[in-house]
Amino acid sequence: MLATGPRRHYPVVRAADRLVLGMLAGLLVATAALGAEPVESYPSRPVHIVLPFTPGGATDVIARQLAPGIHQRLGQPVVIENKPGGNARIGANFVAKAEPDGYTLLLTTNGAFVIAPFIGGKPPYDSLKDFAPVTLVARGAVLVVAGPKIPVSSIADLVALAKREPDKVTYATTGVGGPPHLAAELLKQAAGFKMLMVPYSGTGDVNVALLRGDVDIALGAISAVAPILQQKDVKALAVTSAKRAATLPNVPSIAETVPGYELLTWFAVAAPAGTPRPIVEKIRAAVLGALGEKNVIEALARDGSEIATSTPDELRQIIEADYAKYGALIKSLNIKD
């Protein structure tokens, strides 16, 4: 005779109960996907904005101008985190792999999205798939500056000197493949001369190197490089936009010497792919609100940036179009890390 334990009584689950339980399970899964927080309660803790560059550069300036306005509109602290390295790949990858809950955002230039994928091997993220675009923030030109030891005062002078003394003129940028580097290489290609690149880890290092005379030319965002124009014998040669920048009306565009030349940097906010659209829209509204504040408009204008916004879908289209454009440009310039 088989031994039996105490009889267990299992509850009877009716069809209607099963339906309710199924709905509850679905809600639990959805809530878990949002970090156990309903969309409507976002945000309930600090929001982190990751910058894939060192402090002091144009992205850093823009982020710190926007942070107070975003904080005011979201009602939570905004923490700025600099995660430089790898031509913006380290910071961008950190955000790409973060939870898609709206608490980790990326503010970066076009470099991380449409330049890094074509230099130095495939990045650990997919620019077209691993991010939820939020909004374009600003556009800006690259500023070309000459140091105290090089006898030039214009792009024409620079081209003539570099042609007379090939590979003697040096220029500093914040790394291979960034907009300043591309701007220099595109100028070399268009005007038919040579310069030797010297990469540095950040804009601050670039400025110090120029002032010490370690390099002849420096290229960087207007907001980051313009402050050193106050130093003796430092000369602004040109901007890379098709027209002169409003903040530097006396500085010519490269196109005035090299017709058809243009290269712009754009700045944008993105979240990890999978971030719920209502959260994306809430972040976008906070960013746009901050961009509309008078002090922010004036600050960005002083720094040489032009406010430019977009919808998430428009930003995605910009990323996709520039991904193709810069891929072809980098290939034609034969730039390698």
- Read off the pLDDT of residues 44-96 as tens digits, 9 standing for 90 and up: 999 999 999 888 777 888 999 999 999 999 999 999 999 998 878 999 999 99
Please give the class, per CATH, of domain 45-140+264-333.
alpha beta
Confidence at residue 298, expressed as pLDDT on a 0 to 100 scale: 87
Percent of the chain scoring above 90 in pLDDT: 63
The answer to whether the CB of 111 falls within 8 A of the CB of 179 is: yes
Q: Is CATH 3.40.190.10 what the domain over 141-256 is classified as, yes or no?
A: yes
Integer Cα distance of 321 and 337 in angstroms: 23
Q: What is the pLDDT of residue 33?
A: 47
Give the amino acid at 136.
L
Q: Identify the residue with better confidence: 113 or 11.
A: 113
- At 250 the pLDDT is 94
Q: Is the pLDDT of residue 27 over 50?
A: no
Closest to 136 in 3D by CA, of 311, 325, 322, 321: 311
Q: Which of 165, 169, 177, 179 is nearest to 146 (CA)?
A: 169
CB burial of residue 313 (10 Å; 0-12, 13-18, 19+): exposed
Domains 45-140+264-333 and 141-256 share a fold: yes
What's the mean pLDDT in 314-337? 89
Residue 71, Cβ neighbours under 10 Å: how many?
17
For the chain, what is the mean pLDDT? 87
pLDDT at 337: 65
- Flag whether pLDDT at 290 surpasses 90: yes
In tens, the pLDDT along 110-131 reads: 988 998 899 878 899 999 999 9
Answer whether 121's CB lies under 8 Å from 77's CB. Answer: no
Using alpha carbons, select from 183, 267, 266 the residue that is nearest to residue 219: 183
Mean pLDDT, range 292-303, rounded to an integer = 87
pLDDT at 176 over 50: yes
Q: Where are the domains of the chain?
A: 45-140+264-333, 141-256
What confidence score (pLDDT) does residue 120 get? Answer: 78
| Best CA proximity match to 223, nearest among 321, 109, 126, 310 | 109
Q: Is the pLDDT of residue 8 over 60?
A: no
Between the alpha carbon of residue 311 and those of residues 50, 133, 270, the distances in Å are: 21, 8, 11
Its pTM stands at 0.75
d(Cα 222, Cα 209) in Å, to the nearest integer? 17
Report whether 145 contacts 239 (CB < 8 A). no
